Amino acid sequence: MDGYVPVATHETLQRKLKAELEQNDELLAELKKAKRGGHASRGMKERPGREREEEVELLSEALKRKESTIRELEHGLKAMGEECASLQQKNKLLVSEREQNDKTEELEAAQREAENEKKRADRYKETAKSRKEELTAMEEKLEEAKRKVRRLERSLEKKQTEHEEQRDRQQRKVDELQGRLEEKEAEHQSKPAADSRESSKAEGEVDGRIKQEKREGRGVKKTQIEETTVEEEQAAESQSAVQRSEGAKGETGGVETEDKRETEAIVEKENRGRVKTTEERSASKEQDRERRKGLEESLQAREGRSASRDQRR
């Protein structure tokens, strides 16, 4: 009887007790009338004294039986009431126990949820720690990349400075040789035709030195960066010097030598090589600028992401 209270049985006993009490009251009324010698309400006619006494005795016995039944009913009703109270108490205990169990289950569920939250928090901490380590490593790589860029810039500036100094030295040598060539041309123009062969020999020596200086300069320029306009000016000046030398020889009636043809071919080849080298260096320089630009954009993007993460934290 898990929490069940027999309310219907209790009410049935109460109705039965009420009916018995009503019958008992009727019997008492009949008995009183019989003792007084009056007429009974149930069609009892007036009888002689002996019959009336028997009637009274019968009514008394019936009354006793009814009283006994009433006492039994009252006793059963009392027992039923006690049982009902016990069941109600048990029901209260069961309800309380069920509520306690529900609270225990809720508490256990809350504890499990708290444990899950703690695990999630621990995982988040581990992830945050890992992300922080990754961020630190990325920042270190970023700093290293910045230092590398600065080293490359310093190296490039140093090479440019060295190249400019080398170019200036080569230019001074070329200017010096051109001045000497012009002096030789002037001397050649002032001498008679008999001295033209000696002048051609001297010019060949000067041209040989010019070619040697240009070869040395070209060897340096192949590994360094220089501006196209300067190289073109030098090439134009060298070509102009050769043309001036050839023009001077034409005026004096000199004969073009094999050395001069070789000099012209070398100068032309050098000019073509210089233009090609300049284009290659320009392309290389453009690639360097693009790489630096891409690296700077990557560094700025990483710095932006790092700042965004710091703001979120």
Q: What is the mean pLDDT of the chain?
A: 71
Percentage of residues in the chain with pLDDT exceeding 90? Answer: 14
Q: Token pair 């190249």 is at which residue? A: 163
- Six token digits for residue 202: 């001297």
**Nearest to residue 200, comparing CAs of 259, 244, 243, 261?**
259
Structure tokens given for 116 = 């899950």
Residue 112 has a pLDDT of: 92
> How do the domains of the chain map onto residue ranges?
7-115, 139-187, 277-313
- Based on its alpha-carbon atoms, the radius of gyration of the chain, rounded to whole angstroms, reads 66
Q: Which amino acid is at 214?
A: K
- Angle separating helix axes 49-190 and 7-36, nearest 10 degrees: 160
How many Å apart are CA 288 and CA 294, to the nearest integer? 10
d(CA 6, CA 107): 35
Write the DSSP symbol of residue 45.
P
> Which is more confidently placed, 117 or 305?
117
Q: Taking CA 161 as the corner, what is the angle to CA 157 and CA 163, rounded to the nearest 5 degrees?
A: 115
* Of residues 45 and 36, more confidently modeled: 36
pLDDT of 171 strictly over 50: yes
User: Where is pLDDT greater, at 158 or 244?
Assistant: 158
70 token code pair: 């009433």
pLDDT in tens, 194-225: 555 555 665 566 566 666 665 665 554 444 44
Least confident piece of the model among 37-46, 104-113, 189-198, 259-268:
37-46
How does pLDDT run across 76-123, given as a tens digit for each residue?
778 877 887 888 888 889 898 888 888 888 899 999 999 999 999 999
All residues at 6 or more sequence positions from 265 whose CB lies less than 8 Å from its CB, including other chains: none
The pTM of the whole model exceeds 0.75: no
58 pLDDT higher than 50: yes
Cβ contact 208:220 at 8 Å: no
Which phi and psi angles does 140 have, rounded to 5°? -65, -45
Separation between Cα atoms, residue 13 and residue 42, nearest integer Å: 27
| pLDDT at position 66 | 77
Q: Is the pLDDT of residue 257 over 60?
A: no
Contact between 67 and 96 under an 8 Å Cβ cutoff? The reply is no
Give the torsion sign (CA, 64, 67, 69, 71): negative
| Dist. CA 14–CA 17, nearest whole Å | 5
Mean pLDDT of all residues in 239-255: 48
**pLDDT at site 119:** 92
Tell me what pLDDT residue 115 has. Answer: 92
- Number of Cβ atoms within 10 Å of the Cβ of 76: 14
Longest CA span, the chain: 208
Predicted pLDDT of residue 38: 47
Q: How far apart are CA 180 and CA 162, in angstroms?
A: 27
Q: From CA 25, how far away is CA 62, in angstroms rounded?
A: 12
Among 182, 300, 297, smallest CA distance to 241 is for 182
> In terms of Cα–Cα distance, which of 181, 176, 173, 242 is closest to 213?
173
Is residue 276's pLDDT more than 50? yes
Count other C-beta atoms under 10 Å from residue 273's C-beta: 14
